[in-house]
């Protein structure tokens, strides 16, 4: 059984759906309160309703570019169907968001298995405070549940707290952590981690990196060096560069995504802290604008609250 199949088997459980619904509560409440106001006193979807809807989407952190695409699609449907009742707007909006996301992200997790490479190397990037180390710990827990041998590399050597936090997660989920003293060369930690993973026959390596956006050139050089050193041990490593973004930062998450995608070859996203914010619309906007698959979403604080992102389930939950 591939990792995706394992995840789906777990994620289809009622408690996972319940966690997703609960995690999106704040976004749903804000979103639908705004939509209710947008259509108040209107019986059909006219220009004013569409203008109001545009404002709702933008203020829900869907982003201007994605909002305009959605509004254009709804306008086309309205003109084709001539008369649309405002009560149908929610269904229409849900359909168009689902269509947009499915068109924009053909590279979905469904075609993905960790078993293609051994060890499979994930380099995790993102600014401090977005839940990077917590995401690593929760992902390591999921992988271990799938009977995969996992090792973590503490390459954020600029903050003692980051190394200590990763070690705590390692103890909590029962996976090995490779670390060096604070201030060590991050590339050296990554090299040691991969070398020991190969020697121990481990399946997945997850490398934590420093969350500094001090300047793009510095970040690019640092991540480039880590990649080069890892490739001496495992050619083509890292197989995945996972960018972690905090949903509660709203438009700031878009800017971070822009900076990191310019600095390195990000090919997967994890969007955290959806349960603590009304800004869940960022998932829709970022997924659309950057054409990078959102692989994981964080919908709560419990160890099992990191979920595989399923576009259809996410949008259905949002519109429940």
User: Which residues contribute to the annotated binding site for GTP?
Assistant: 126-133, 208-212, 272-275
Could you tell me which residues come within 8 angstroms of residue 76 by beta carbon, excluding any fewer than 6 positions away?
A: none
Query: Do 290 and 259 form a contact (C-beta atoms < 8 A)?
Result: no
- The whole-angstrom separation of Cα 203 and Cα 210 is 24
In this structure, the strands spanning 240-246 and 120-125 are parallel
Contact 158, 181 (CB under 8 A): no
Annotated binding site: 126-133, 208-212, 272-275
On whether the CB atoms of residues 191 and 232 are closer than 8 A, the answer is yes
252 CB-contact burial (10 Å; exposed 0-12 / middle 13-18 / buried 19+): middle
Omega cis (within 30) before 119:
yes
Count the helices and strands in the chain (H runs, E runs). Answer: 13, 8
Q: d(Cα 250, Cα 272) in Å, to the nearest integer? A: 11
226 vs 189: CA distance, rounded Å: 9
Bond before 91 cis per omega within 30 degrees:
no
188 CB contacts (<8 Å, ≥6 apart)? Answer: 180, 229
DSSP string, 218-249: HHHHHHHHHHHHHHTTSTT--SEEEEEEEGGG
Neighbouring-strand partners of residue 208: 124, 154
């Amino acid at each position: 059984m591939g990792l995706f199949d394992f995840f789906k088997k777990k994620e289809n459980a009622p408690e996972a759906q319940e966690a997703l619904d609960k995690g999106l509560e704040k976004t749903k409440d804000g979103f639908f309160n705004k939509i209710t106001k947008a259509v108040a006193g209107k019986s059909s979807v006219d220009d004013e309703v569409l203008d109001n809807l545009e404002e709702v989407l933008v203020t829900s952190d869907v982003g201007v570019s994605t909002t305009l695409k959605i509004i254009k699609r709804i306008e086309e449907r309205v003109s084709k169907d001539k008369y649309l009742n405002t009560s149908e707007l929610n269904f229409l909006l849900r359909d168009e968001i689902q269509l947009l996301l499915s068109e924009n992200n053909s590279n979905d997790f469904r075609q993905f298995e960790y078993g293609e490479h051994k060890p499979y190397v994930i380099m995790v990037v993102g600014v401090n405070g977005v839940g990077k180390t917590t995401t690593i710990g929760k992902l390591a827990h999921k992988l271990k549940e799938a009977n995969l041998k996992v090792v973590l590399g503490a390459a954020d050597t600029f903050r003692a707290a980051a190394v200590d936090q990763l070690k705590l997660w390692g103890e909590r989920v029962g996976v090995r952590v490779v670390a060096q003293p604070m201030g060590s060369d991050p590339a050296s930690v990554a090299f040691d981690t991969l070398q020991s993973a190969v020697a121990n026959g481990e399946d997945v390596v997850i490398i934590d990196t420093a969350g500094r956006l001090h300047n793009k050139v510095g970040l690019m050089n640092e991540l480039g060096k880590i990649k080069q050193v890892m490739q001496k041990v495992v050619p083509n490593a890292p197989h995945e560069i996972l960018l972690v973004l905090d949903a509660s930062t709203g438009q700031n998450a878009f800017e971070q995504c822009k900076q990191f995608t310019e600095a390195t070859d990000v090919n997967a996203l994890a969007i955290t802290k959806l349960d603590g914010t009304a800004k869940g619309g960022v998932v829709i906007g970022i997924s659309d604008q950057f054409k990078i698959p959102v692989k994981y979403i964080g919908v709560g604080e419990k160890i099992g609250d990191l979920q595989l992102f399923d576009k259809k389930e996410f949008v259905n939950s949002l519109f429940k």
